[in-house]
A and B are shown apart, each in its own frame.
Chain A
Amino acid sequence: MRRRATIITSLMASAVLTLAACSPGAPAGEAKTLKIVYQKTASFTALDTLFQSAKQEFEAANQGVTVELEPIQAEDDDYGTKLALALRSPATAPDVFYEDTFKVRSDVDAGYLLKLDSHLQAWSEWDTFDDAAKAAGLGDDGGTYAVPVGTDTRAIWYNKKVLAAAGVSLPWEPRTWQDILDAARKIKASDPTVVPFNMYAGKATGEGTVMQSFYELLYGTDSALYDAEAKKWVVGSAGFTDALAFLKTLYDEKLAVSPAEALDANVWKKVFGEWLPQAKMGATVEGSYTPSFWQDGGSYEWPGYEQDMGVAPFPTQEGQAPGGVSMSGGWTLAVGAETKNPDLAFGFLTTALNKKNSLAFNIASSQIAVRKDVAADSTYQAANPFVKDVSELVSVTHYRPATADYPRISAAVQEATEAVITGAKSPEQAAADYDAAVKDLVGEDKTVRK
């Protein structure tokens, strides 16, 4: 009697523990629920708006289907981490998610993304998408795994008042790196309290450091990060060292923000929210989405920014052809490989990216449209005065290598810029350390000296 009570109590407690621990937390998804994961931050709500409206449309058109929106509140880097953590487990993998173009290929390799070719054939609107943009969703096997929502370019954004006050003639169109330094020194001389020409550096700004700064320099020399033909990473190039040396000059001469400020992950918020609007900064290199922060409803509304700001292509090192350089990234929507309802998930994706929703999203987030019908729309063209300028940069733009090991390489580049601007290493030393790091990461046989 006594003994049995003890046994039963203990066994029951153990059973409860084991059962509770091993039952999945969320109820096993009913057949008709779609989970959508995307990014939402205080300064980026356009996507949330897009999905809210797509959810309404889709649920109205498909009775009995519930769309669960699961925004992740994090900046790009942390968003990528959180998404990857969720993708790895089939239990938490979303049906449709927002995916950075540079992660597409490695996530295809990982088996996280559903191949969409058969679905795309049946979707009449796929033809309206720009061919160059479509390439962002390709896997190694030539199949399409993701649909682009927009793209972007990068350019110099300068404050006309600051430049004019320093005697720089407008419109400012630097042709070489030297032109940039000349103008920056001129601004510094006329008003030492102003940050003349900012370029991001260091690990804190993550991809922003390479996309908005280092690659503009590197691709403006005669070398590159990656040899796409040979499928090898470039090491030991003069261009790499030159690009680092240019950053060092900017930071050493105090033409950019202070190294301490550059290593603050929130530095870009100060660029958009304080320094440029308050005429405390001459120029910065930033993305084509810049106006989305300043237009009505943006995070840092700035009435009249259209008059105060100007935009110029980033020059090549010595002014060599094509005379300008830009980088394009962009984001896509993808369908989870493990989805129980591939047709419904793809249906939701097409609803989210129909003309109406794409147009609204491209305008709200100042993205460059990837749908031709959106690009031709008069409201899109009139959304801000810079649409035409930044769209034209597509002709001189470059893309990141879409390989699985790219994120590690990018981190090594960021590390090199950080070592240079903090004075920890000379450009030559940092470049040599980068070369060693790349060989460690991908193996000697995957590198090429150029």
Chain B
Amino acid sequence: MAVPRTTRWVRLLPVLPAVVLLLVFLAGPVLWAFHASLTNAALTGRNARSPGWVGLDNYARLLTDPVLPLSLALTVLFVGGSAILGQNMLGLLIAVLMRRARRSVSAVVGTAVVAAWVLPEIVAAFAAYAYFSRDGTLNQLLGGLGLGQPDWLYSFPMVAIMLANVWRGTAFSMLVYRAALDDVPGEVTEAALMDGASGWQRLAFITLPMIRGSIATNLMLITLQTLAVFTLIWVMTAGGPSNASTTLPVLAYQEAFKFGDIGYGTAVASVLILIGMVFGAAYIRLLREAKP
């Protein structure tokens, strides 16, 4: 190949702007977070002027803070319930149904699912807030069916937030699975059909194993996306009532900005970053195995 004979480092120079940006604005904050979580930096008071080094105090406090286990549990519940179960299963179900249904039907339904995903997050959050509020659409429906009308955002804040997140994010899984199913060669399933395998048997024993890579990738990505959800929760419940929906991102924000405890807030954020890193590393391994 007649590649121009330039030395290697010059060739790689155009990568520099991107590297500079990533170092300053992505690696920088991460390092700053680990550093600040070891200080008692604050928004106001004496520690705002001259933050002191407190070592692992913030992390020690994390371990004894009654809100942290709750917050961790809520985060796990939120990710497990709305991403791994909700978005993932519903996305797969819709993708499978779309292959069987009429084109016109799947096009219309696909549009509706994608619309919720493309909407700006803040708009989706307001729409979900209105939908779940006490005199909102959901209770209208339940009332019409003669069922009870609980105050969702007050009595079952996590249920409301998880449903809202499923509504908002399912499109991503649906698109991944549609693309994956389209890649499954038709002959394979046709052959199984001749052998008299039922639709669900085909799905379970032939199709799903064939798209295992896509399933793993999708689970990873939606987990990471859901870990970081803030706006939806902030608009719908602001973490309440009584911290009943305070996931880790909300907790970090409240500690750092509402109570001005930057050091403690970044300690919470650092925990979240570490969780993200673990998932990230697992995701990269997956990809590398898929493409040796």
By a beta-carbon cutoff of 8 Å, the part of chain A in contact with chain B is 2-3, 6-7, 9-11, 13-14, 17-18, 21, 77, 81, 84-85, 87-88, 103, 106-107, 109-112, 202-204, 259-260, 263, 265, 404-405, 407-408, 411, 415, 418-419, 422, 424, 433, 440
Contact = CB atoms under 8 A, between A and B. Distances in A.
A18 B43 CA distance: 28
Contact of A88 (B25, B48, B238, B258): B48
A241 to B, nearest CB: 19
B259 A415 contact: no
Contacts of A81: 257-258
B16 A10 contact: yes
B21 interface: yes
Interface in B118-150: 134
Given A2-B4, A18-B20, A84-B260, A405 B45 contact: yes
Q: Is the interface of A mostly helix, strand, loop or mixed?
A: helix
A109 B14 contact: no
A112 B260 CA distance: 14
Given A14-B20, A18-B20, A77-B258, A424 B242 contact: yes
Contacts of A111: 48-49
Contacts of B47: 110
A110 B49 contact: yes
A47 B49 CA distance: 30
A10 B13 contact: yes
Interface string B25-54: 100000000000000001111111100000
Nearest to B9: A7
B48 A110 contact: yes
Contacts of B13: 6-7, 10-11
Contacts of B17: 10, 13-14, 17
B241 A418 contact: yes
Contact of A263 (B6, B7, B240): B240
Contacts of B241: 202, 259, 263, 418, 422
Given A10-B17, A77-B258, A259 B154 contact: yes
A148 B194 CA distance: 86
Given A14-B16, A418-B242, A107 B44 contact: yes
A18 B16 CA distance: 11
Contacts of A418: 240-242
A103 B7 CA distance: 60
B278 interface: no
B238 A103 contact: no
B102 interface: no
B45 A110 contact: yes
Nearest to B67: A415
B96 to A, nearest CB: 40
A85 B16 contact: no
A10 B42 CA distance: 40
A103 B25 CA distance: 32
B37 to A, nearest CB: 17
A81 B265 CA distance: 14
A109 B238 CA distance: 30
Contacts of B45: 106, 109-110, 404-405
A296 B10 CA distance: 72
A203 B240 contact: yes
Contacts of A107: 44
A411 B259 contact: yes
Given A10-B13, A263-B241, A17 B21 contact: yes
Given A265-B238, A418-B241, A260 B154 contact: yes
B108 interface: no
Nearest to A103: B44
Contacts of B66: 433
A260 B241 CA distance: 9
Contacts of B49: 109-111
A202 B242 CA distance: 8
Contact of A21 (B24, B44, B238): B24
Nearest to A9: B14
Contacts of A10: 13-14, 16-17
B100 to A, nearest CB: 43
A126 to B, nearest CB: 26
B11 interface: yes
Contacts of A415: 242
14 contacts: A3-B4, A7-B10, A9-B14, A10-B14, A13-B14, A81-B257, A85-B43, A109-B44, A110-B46, A111-B49, A203-B242, A204-B238, A415-B242, A419-B242
Contact of A112 (B7, B24, B44, B240): B44
Interface string B225-237: 0000000000000
Those 9 A-B pairs whose CB atoms lie nearest each other, nearest first: A404-B45, A110-B48, A10-B13, A260-B154, A106-B45, A111-B49, A84-B43, A106-B44, A109-B46
Contacts of B11: 6
A30 to B, nearest CB: 28
A103 B43 CA distance: 11
B193 to A, nearest CB: 54
B99 interface: no
Given A84-B257, A440-B64, 17 more contacts: A6-B6, A6-B11, A7-B10, A10-B13, A10-B17, A13-B14, A13-B16, A17-B21, A88-B48, A109-B49, A110-B45, A263-B241, A404-B45, A404-B46, A407-B259, A422-B241, A424-B242
B259 A110 contact: no
B14 A6 contact: yes
